[in-house]
Structure 1
Amino acid sequence: MSLLKWEKGGLKSNVARARGLGSAKDGVEHWMAQRVTSVSTLILVVWFVYSLLNGVALDYVTFTTWLQAPLNAILLILFTISVLYHAYLGCQVVVEDYIHNEAFKMVKMIGMKLTFFAAGVACIFSILKISFGL
């Protein structure tokens, strides 16, 4: 089996055929970020479910009292950030892979960033407002 293959421009190696097919600069970073957010989300889900099962009733007064503990507020904010960022990364992959019109892809990516950012700000604001008892 030969390492070279005949193509239009002559004999080319596997590397020569792969050149120019796309960037390989941030694929590992994206993959790693998705793995880190999935692990952190899993850990925080276990904490959240454990907290709900051990004494946090679903009524407003008990939940707000629970959320006023600084550790609970911090962990819930981290949980929110982790879930939203993980969801953003997943949606980004879908948009990049399945939307082929570059203009629509750009609009979709900007809209996604704004939507996830707004959701994060709203969630964190709500958690802090309840946590500080405002």
Structure 2
Amino acid sequence: MTSDLRNPLKRARNIGSAKSGAGAWMAMQFTSIALAALSVWFVILVLTLLRSDYATVRASIGHPVNATLMASFIILVCWHTELGLRNIYEDYIHTHWLGFWSVILTRLVLLLVAVLSVLSIVRIAIAR
């Protein structure tokens, strides 16, 4: 067994940035709190529309308040998912190129989901 006689600071240098952790942590906390409140609203909305017909559901989602809250919910879910998956990738994928492309692909897929979802909500709200 080889002993490493280097200073611990020397071993820690150049193994990654320690500058953006607080920002990512704050974003995760913000999205968690906002999603907790929006999830309560979403569950209540789904339960009230459970036995409704298509026109009623469409009119309810098309209401400006519900459309705004739904779009916010979708955007925050995608953002929170991206933050969480990026954290997992950074912690558990040790191959640099695989971690990099995993983050990029995740961002692209979640961006596509968010844009299509928000456009669908806007289309429902406008066609009301």
TM-score relative to the length of structure 2: 0.85
1:130 aligns to 2:127 (yes or no) = no
- Opposite residue 42 of structure 2, the aligned amino acid is F
TM-aligned CA deviation for residue 56 of structure 1 = 6.3
Q: 1:37 aligns to what?
A: 31
Percent identical: 32
CA distance in 1, matches of 2:69, 2:122: 12
Structure with greater contact order relative to length (CA < 8 Å, sep ≥ 6)? 2
Name the structure 1 match of 2:106.
112
Do the aligned partners of 2:32 and 2:80 also contact (CA within 8 Å) in 1?
yes
Give the secondary-structure state (helix, strand or coil) at the position aligned to 2:90: helix
From 66, 74, 82, the equivalent of 1:80 is: 74
Query: How far off its partner does 1:133 sit?
Result: 1.2
Cα-to-partner distance string for 1:108-129 (whole Å, 9 max, x where unaligned): 1111111010000111011111
Describe the superposition over 1:12-50 as per-residue Cα deviations: whole angstroms up to 9, x where unpaired: 5x7x46751532211111111111101101100111122
2:49/2:57 contact within 8 Å kept: no
1:8 to 1, 5, 8: 5
Q: SS of the counterpart of 1:8?
A: coil
- Once the two structures are superposed, the pairs formed by residues 59-74 of structure 1 within 5 Å of their partners are 59-74=53-68
Greater mean deviation of Cα atoms: 17-26 or 59-68 = 17-26
Letter of the 2:85 counterpart: C
Does 1:27 find its partner at 2:17? Answer: no
* Structure with larger Rg: 1
Q: SS of the counterpart of 1:28? A: helix
Q: Is the 8 A contact 1:95 1:109 kept in 2?
A: yes
Structure with the higher helix share, 1 or 2: 2
Which structure has greater strand proportion? 1
Q: CA RMSD in A?
A: 2.1
Which segments of 5 or more consecutive residues in structure 1 lack a partner in the other structure? 1-6
TM-score scaled by length of structure 1: 0.81
Partner of 1:4: none
What is the DSSP-based 3-state SS (H/G/I as helix, E as strand, rest coil) of the residue aligned with 1:22? coil
